[in-house]
């Protein structure tokens, strides 16, 4: 599991390391004893117990056998999977293609009632046009050298957008003004996307805010994130996809969203910024 700045991921990883170290002590074994029983280097046992190196499922099986607690193997492997699931590198998430990564999120979107999203890089996927999505996913596919299932992935994302129009879902969406002006796919694609934002903002269940560019901001732009009800936050970083469920961290992102929302403009003022960006495209 890759290291991240998230205390949730770090805490989950450390909790597993602490539990393994406890089992070793309870069995009356030193790190050297355990390494010898598992046919490992002494440094490997130390790195696992100190949380510096995450164990594999096979490592956990060997550890439990060495400590005589085989009955705890499955629970510890479940702890490992939980820790791994908090942080997923893009290569791992997209190893089977972009379509699967898009489809995997649909159940979360269907069960969420209140969405809050902030984007400083791109227009959020839920309100992208098909040409914009195609340009974005093509860029990802080429940059990461993935299997070319862009057409299928685009279709999956478009299918997910039905959540906008069905049920009692509500959306509070924030984008930085730079997202309107630093586009992808060319002028025609961006013009269509900006026009779509104006249409989306008219939906009764959607609040669209634009955070204006200004030289005196006290709350600077952040990484893009989605808040699903009050249960989960997903953060898209350069290196991977972070899932946060710890209440204190969900609250931190909710507070950040509120601060950014207070800086944003809405309604006619937001339309002015969007149409200005369209005019700049010629």
Q: Pick from 87, 111, 138: which residue ends a domain?
A: 87
Backbone φ and ψ of 50, nearest 5°? -90, 0
- Nearest alpha-carbon partner for 120 in 185, 209, 190, 192: 209
Q: What are the pLDDT tens digits along the chain (282 aa)?
A: 334 445 566 777 888 999 999 999 999 999 999 999 999 998 999 999 998 888 999 999 999 999 999 999 988 987 787 777 677 777 777 877 899 888 888 899 999 999 999 999 999 999 999 999 999 999 999 988 888 999 999 999 999 999 999 989 999 999 999 999 988 999 999 999 999 999 999 999 999 999 999 999 989 999 999 999 998 999 988 878 888 887 888 899 999 999 999 999 999 999 999 999 999 998
* Domains in the chain, number: 2
CB 223 within 8 A of CB 236: yes
Reported pTM: 0.76
Asked whether residue 125 falls in the same domain as residue 229, the answer is yes
Q: Count Cβ atoms within 10 A of the Cβ of residue 265 and give its class: 0-12 exposed, 13-18 middle, 19 or more buried.
A: middle
The CATH number linked to 27 is 1.10.260.40
Based on the fold, state whether residues 60 and 119 are members of the same structural domain: no
Q: What are the distances in angstroms from CA 84 to CA 57, 125, 152? A: 11, 25, 27
Strands (E), the chain: 87-89, 114-119, 170-176, 206-211, 225-228, 232-236, 240-244
Domain that holds residue 226: 94-280
As a whole number of angstroms, the distance between CA 78 and CA 19 comes to: 13
User: In this structure, are 103 and 179 located in the same domain?
Assistant: yes
């Amino acid at each position: 599991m890759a290291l991240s700045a998230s205390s949730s991921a770090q805490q989950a990883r450390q909790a597993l390391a602490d539990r393994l170290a406890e089992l070793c002590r309870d069995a009356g074994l030193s790190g050297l004893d355990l390494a010898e029983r598992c046919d490992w280097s002494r440094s490997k046992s130390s790195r696992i117990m100190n949380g510096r190196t995450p164990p594999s499922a096979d490592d956990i099986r060997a550890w439990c056998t060495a400590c005589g607690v085989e009955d705890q193997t499955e629970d510890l492997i479940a702890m490992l999977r939980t820790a791994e699931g908090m942080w997923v590198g893009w290569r791992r998430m997209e190893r089977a293609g972009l379509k699967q990564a898009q489809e995997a999120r649909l159940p979360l979107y269907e069960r969420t009632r209140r969405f809050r999203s902030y984007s400083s890089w791109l227009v959020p996927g839920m309100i992208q046009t098909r040409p914009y999505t195609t340009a974005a996913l093509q860029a990802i596919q080429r940059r990461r050298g993935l299997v070319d299932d862009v057409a299928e992935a685009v279709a999956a994302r478009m299918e997910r957008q039905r959540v906008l129009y069905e049920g009692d879902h509500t959306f509070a969406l924030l984008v930085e003004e730079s997202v309107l002006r630093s586009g992808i796919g060319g002028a025609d694609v961006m013009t269509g996307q900006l026009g779509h934002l104006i249409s989306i903002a008219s939906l009764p269940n959607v609040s669209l805010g634009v955070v204006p560019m200004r030289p005196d901001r006290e709350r600077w732009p952040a990484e893009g994130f989605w808040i699903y009800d009050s249960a989960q936050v997903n953060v898209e970083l350069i290196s991977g996809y972070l899932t946060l469920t710890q209440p204190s961290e969900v609250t931190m992102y909710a507070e950040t969203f509120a601060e950014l929302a207070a800086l944003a403009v809405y309604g006619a003022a937001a339309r002015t910024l969007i149409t200005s960006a369209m005019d700049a495209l010629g």
